[in-house]
Structure 1
Amino acid sequence: MRSKDERALLREAEQVLGLVRQAAEEENRRWNSTAVTVAVKLIGDRRAGLTPLASPVVRTARRSIASVLTDATVNVTGEHTDSNVAMSPGVPAVILSGGGEGGNSHSRSAWYKPVNAYVGPQNALPTLLTQVGIKDVTEPS
Structure 2
Amino acid sequence: MINQLDGKLEPLLGTKYEWTDDMTLHIELNKDAKWSDGQPFTSDDVVYTYQLGKKYDINWSNYWAYIADVAADGPNAVKITLNKDNPNRLTVLDSIELIPMMPKHIWEEIEKKSNNDLATIRKEVNANPVATGPYKIYFYND
Please report the TM-score for the alignment, with normalisation by the length of structure 1: 0.30
Higher relative contact order (CA 8 A, sep 6+): 2
Structure with the higher helix share, 1 or 2: 1
- Which protein shows a greater Rg? 1
Please report the TM-score for the alignment, with normalisation by the length of structure 2: 0.30
